[in-house]
Amino acid sequence: MVIKTIDILKNEIPIEEESLIITEDVKAGLVLVDIINGFCTVGAGNLAPREPNRQISEMIEESKRLARLFCDKKWPILAFLDSHQPHKLEHPYPPHCITGTDESNLVPALRWLEKEQNVTIRRKDCYDGYIGSFQEDGSNVFVDWVKNNKIQTLLVVGVCTDICVLDFVCSTLSAKNRGFLNPLEQVVVYSKGCATFDFPASMARNSKDISPHPQVTYNKS
Ligand SMILES: [Zn+2]
Domain count of the fold of the chain: 1
With residues binned 3-state (H G I as helix, E B as strand, rest as coil), the percentages for the chain, rounded to 5, are 35, 20, 45
Domain of 165, CATH number, reads 3.40.50.850
| 21-46 pLDDT, tens digit each | 888 899 999 999 999 999 999 999 98
Q: How many helices (H) and strands (E) does the chain have?
A: 7, 7
Q: Is residue 86 part of a domain?
A: yes
Task: For residue 142, give the 3-state DSSP assignment.
Answer: helix
pTM for this predicted structure: 0.88
pLDDT over threshold 80, residue 205: no
What are residue 213's DSSP bridge partners? Answer: 199
Q: Is residue 16 part of a domain?
A: no
Residue 68: name the closest of 116, 134, 128 by CA.
116
Between 72-86, 130-144, 157-171, 205-219, the lowest mean confidence (pLDDT) is in 205-219
| 176-196 pLDDT, tens digit each | 999 999 999 999 999 899 998
Q: How far is the CA of 20 from the centre of ligand 1 (A)?
A: 30
The domain of 62 spans 25-198
Q: Cis peptide leading into 160, omega within 30 of 0?
A: yes
Q: Is residue 66 part of a domain?
A: yes
Q: How far is the CA of 66 from the centre of ligand 1 (A)?
A: 24
Q: Is residue 65 part of a domain?
A: yes
Between 41-55, 99-113, 164-178, 206-220, the lowest mean confidence (pLDDT) is in 206-220
Q: How far is the CA of 86 from the centre of ligand 1 (A)?
A: 11
Cα 31–Cα 68–Cα 3 angle in degrees, nearest 5:
65
